Amino acid sequence: MSATRAVILAAAQNKWLKERASRYSFVRRSVSRFMPGETLDDAIAAAHQLRSRALGTAFTHLGENIAEASEAEGVVAHYLQVLERIRAETLPTEISVKPTQLGLDLSENLCEQNLRRLAAEDPGRTLWIDMESSPYVESTLRLYRRVRADHPNCGVCLQAYLHRTPRDIEALLPLKPSIRLVKGAYRELPEIAAQQKSEIDSRYLELARALLTSQTSGNVQRAILATHDPRLLEQITTFAAQQGMGRQQVEVQMLYGIQRALQEKLAGEGWKSSVLVAYGTHWYAWFMRRLAERPANLWLVFRNIAAG
């Protein structure tokens, strides 16, 4: 792991910085690069705009590690409102939720009940379960297996940099899972996760190819390849073409505001493309992880400091 990335990830966990970051206008301007706003209305407006460019969307309401059951109930109520809105506006938008935002720190059973409520609300729309840091992987996969047994519209996110991920994918195949593959953005020890970009990229490509192959054979219901890396995407799309896969069989996802030109290029070429749209007031840790994924984004912060 680079020294810059390590420092940024450490800052993401700093409570003192978290409490003060939102006070500075240059930070808020920087955050706006990666999210359309803090409200559901902002996210809905972005989804309409992206659909006009042939881009699908998934919403995630920022927040994690809630401390009260009532907070989890509030999160569920919000996502039920989201589902109602996107149905009313005929958007193909999906939702992506963090288990700790639904009460996992309080009770695995509570979190499961909340996931089931959301999955049952709209059976025709995929509910994505986000993956958080390594201490939560085992419990999150347990939750996924239990909820997926009754709700086939449930999918899970896996992180390529974790050493365990190839085994986790293999163990999930009997379920015919839906999997969103990301590189991984949390600060993890070397014995838990790969640290060097070259190794992470190699693992990502290997797992992406395996998921596409499993999707073609019917062992994976749906694979989403979530990366902003142009070189990896070129390798993935080349592999898909060589295997005779149709472009709508390969689903690529990126974050709002990152690689916008590439997003539109892929969609224009016919590859199935979507954007993860984050919104909400609890953006600090999420924003810092975005900077750590690509430390060059720090220049955005510096430009906003210079702009006053």
- By annotation, the residues acting in catalysis are 130, 180
Distance CA 101, CA 97 (A): 7
Residues 8 and 288: beta-carbon distance below 8 Å: yes
Distance CA 79, CA 183 (A): 26
The token duo for 254 is 């990126």
Distance CA 260, CA 267 (A): 11
For 182-211, letters b (16+ CB in 10 Å) and e give: bbbbbbbeeebbbeeeeebbebbbebbbbb
**DSSP 8-state symbol, 290:** H
**DSSP 8-state symbol, 286:** H
